[in-house]
Structure 1
Amino acid sequence: MLKRASDALKDASSLFIVNWTPRSPYRNPDIEAAIIKATSHDNSRIDYSSAQRIFAWIRVSSHYIRPILSALSTRMAKTRNWTVALKGLMLLHGILSCRVPAVQKIGPLPFDFSNFKDWNPNSCHHEAFVRAYYTYLHKKVSFMYQQDEKTGSLRKGIIQKPKQSPLMNNLGLLQNLQCLLDMLLEIKPRREKLMNVLVLEAMDCIVIEIYDIYSRICNGIASVLIRLYSIEKTEAVTAFSVLQKAAAQADVLSRYIELCRVFGVAKASESPKIVHIHKDDIHALEHIIYKVSNQQITDRSIIFTRG
């Protein structure tokens, strides 16, 4: 009870200071107040209305993104409380999900939770959860920024790397998405007793993200399989690696979703069936790689004999 009162006092003090902060090109008291409310110390409830205000500002104008990220960064840099940290990460996740072009250009995260420590030594499991969530969002921001850079370069006609086939570009994208999925699957509570309203809400966000990325992977693989018998060896080797990885991830994902159901994660109970990669597709790629390799050996032998 004493800790809850102390945490409430911290939030009230922060709001009081913000209310007396003069408005300037670099400070927006309304934004800072919304950030504090959305990332309060109360682990029994989430202030959805403040979070929605922040998302609405971003959708109205890209000019709000920098002050929002600045206020969030300041709030996160000061905290050693896992509740505030996790709410901040959920808020950032929501910002990254806003479908506006400027979000793609955010670049590196303005704060670092890679070594996050809570003031309470008994919060080690929550610390691990926060660090895993941060690691994913850090990678996602980098991925989004790189994709935006590539798209911008194409629009301007800038060639930054040796030209690759469209299929190899797609396969590279699939490998990046698989890397993101691996990081997502590391975000999980280690003990059922640690589950509360806040952690369950965070897990809902994670499960939604998992299905979004996994569906993109499945759709990408489907487009590769359509061209299965017209691809070259290099493409076939990369595609084989992607399919093997997807088959392994499907098994891990099935176990992950089942664990989430046991913990009571709502979105896990609503989740669709996991699509598994057919072994026949993997064998078909193996056959193509073997066939092309033998053909290349035969061609080199003919050239050497003629020479």
Structure 2
Amino acid sequence: MRLWIKASGALKDTYSIWVAKLAPSGPCRNPDLETVIIKATSHDEQCMDYKNVQRVFKWLRTSPLYLKPLLYTLSIRMEKTRSWVVALKGLMLIHGVFCFDLPAVQKLGRLPFDLSHFSDGHVNPNKAWVFNAFVRSYFAYLDQKSAFVRLEATRETKHGSKELKEETVMEELKNVEKLLGLIDLLIRIKPRNPSMNVVLVLEAMDCVMDEVLDMYAKFCVRVHHVVSRIIDFGGKDEAGVGLDVLRKAELQGGKISKYFDFCRDIGVINVSECPEIVKIQDKDIDELVRIRDGCVSEKKNMKGDTNNNNNDDVVAYEFNNCRAIVTSSEKQLDLKTVITDQWEVFDDDLMDSASNATNFPIFTTSNPFLDSLSIVPYIPVCNNPVLPDLIIL
């Protein structure tokens, strides 16, 4: 039975290559490129045909115009196949395409084919479900990553210019959450049965492990950056979302450690040491908690020194009957004005020098606005004032 499956798969590949060579060329079709793609995604389950995979990538490096026929041919092949081998090779091929820094790839969006309900039609269903689950998990991640890459490209285009406004803290938090969800989808890709420890599956796991290292490194950089932005500019909402992201990241860190241990046990080649799990300092977490709870933290000046210094000396300054309360610090030579709730009102020299002026008492009050009527005397204004005759005829 197994020999018959291999023979039928080889016949299908030969027939597809023959049809591709006879097909006319067009904007979406290139017979030579189709032939290489069919060979790269053959029914041979022994291993990936990396020679033809590199030939596909060489076509793409030659000109971005070959991306459209590549996606067209690969989509047709993925939609028709009922073999988990062909489906897995096609996913590995499109995964490699994402490594090209091409605007057309970044703007791709969702994948042009759907393997979310893939089911192998050649293997016993009791054995095929683990391969089906592996293909579906791999597709789910690549499909979401393709959408995320497009979102990132759009955001970089929008905020790429230095003159444009930087994205808000909440927008950056949402992007970090999406990246966290991508990593969660990524670590779900794993063989769920010892019978899956075949060469092709292990090669796919090598690609997955490289992706885990890359995506988690990006997440660590972004989460540290957004935490510092929340502490500097964020409010209660941002701090609450940030704490939730840190809680999820802590839980995911344990899952990643277990995932690396599992991959090491099944013999994945590229598994070295587990990446350093993201760790936020306790003082930053406490600061986020204070911001979320609405507590006012100690603010810092431009030099990094705090304004709350209990060793400052209070000095009263008086000049020309004008008084001010200032402080002098041992670390600074200049004087600082201190705002206090104790107010004093003094006589004006002009009132003392005025002839027969009424001497008004001095009042001391804690709130000058409430007692202003008692401090300032009321001087009635004559309703019918007599104006002097300024014109002398």
Same fold (TM > 0.5): yes
Name the amino acid aligned to 2:290: H
Map of 1:137 onto structure 2 = 142
Distance, in Å, in 2 between the alignment partners of 1:194 and 1:177 is 28
Structure 1 residues 223 and 26: alpha-carbon distance in aligned structure 2, compared to 1, 3 A threshold: closer
Is residue 23–residue 29 contact of structure 1 (8 Å, CA) maintained in 2?
yes
TM-score, normalization: structure 1? 0.87
Instruction: Write out per-residue CA displacement over residues 163-206 of structure 1, whole angstroms, 9 at most, x where no aligned residue.
Output: 88543332222111101001101111101221111100111111
Instruction: Write out per-residue CA displacement over residues 68-117 of structure 1, whole angstroms, 9 at most, x where no aligned residue.
Output: 00000011011010000000001011111212222101122111111101
Q: How does 1:201-216 map to 2 (within 5 A)?
A: 201-216=203-218
Unaligned 5+ segments in structure 1 are 295-307
Q: How does 1:215-230 map to 2 (within 5 A)?
A: 215-227=217-229, 229-230=231-232
Map of 1:244 onto structure 2 = 247
Map of 1:80 onto structure 2 = 82
Distance, in Å, in 1 between the alignment partners of 2:87 and 2:155 is 32
Distance, in Å, in 2 between the alignment partners of 1:29 and 1:97 is 24
Distance, in Å, in 2 between the alignment partners of 1:73 and 1:191 is 29
Secondary structure in structure 2 of the residue aligned to 1:30: helix
- Is residue 93 from structure 1 mapped to residue 95 from structure 2 by the alignment? yes
Distance, in Å, in 2 between the alignment partners of 1:154 and 1:22 is 43
Secondary structure in structure 2 of the residue aligned to 1:189: coil
Runs of 4+ deviating beyond 6 Å:
none
Map of 1:71 onto structure 2 = 73
Structure 1 residues 275 and 73: alpha-carbon distance in aligned structure 2, compared to 1, 3 A threshold: same
* Deviation (angstroms), 1:246: 1.1
Give the root-mean-square deviation of aligned CA atoms: 2.5
Comparing 170-179 with 33-42, which one deviates more in the overlay? 170-179
- Is residue 146 from structure 1 mapped to residue 148 from structure 2 by the alignment? no
TM-score, normalization: structure 2? 0.69
Distance, in Å, in 2 between the alignment partners of 1:273 and 1:107 is 29
Q: How does 1:54-65 map to 2 (within 5 A)?
A: 54-65=56-67
Name the amino acid aligned to 1:238: V
Which of 123, 130, 134 is equivalent to 1:125? 130
Structure 1 residues 231 and 28: alpha-carbon distance in aligned structure 2, compared to 1, 3 A threshold: same
Structure 1 residues 256 and 227: alpha-carbon distance in aligned structure 2, compared to 1, 3 A threshold: same
Higher normalized strand content (fraction of residues):
2
- Is residue 265 from structure 1 mapped to residue 265 from structure 2 by the alignment? no
Name the amino acid aligned to 2:11: L
Unaligned 5+ segments in structure 2 are 298-393
Is residue 254–residue 274 contact of structure 1 (8 Å, CA) maintained in 2?
no
Structure 1 residues 111 and 227: alpha-carbon distance in aligned structure 2, compared to 1, 3 A threshold: closer
Higher normalized helix content (fraction of residues):
1
- The percent identity for this pair of structures is 41
Q: Looking at CA atoms only, which structure, 1 or 2, has the larger radius of gyration?
A: 2
* Deviation (angstroms), 1:66: 0.7
Structure 1 residues 141 and 37: alpha-carbon distance in aligned structure 2, compared to 1, 3 A threshold: same
Higher RCO (CA 8 Å, separation ≥ 6 residues): 1
* Deviation (angstroms), 1:289: 1.7
Comparing 65-74 with 43-52, which one deviates more in the overlay? 43-52
Secondary structure in structure 1 of the residue aligned to 2:270: helix
Distance, in Å, in 2 between the alignment partners of 1:164 and 1:101 is 22
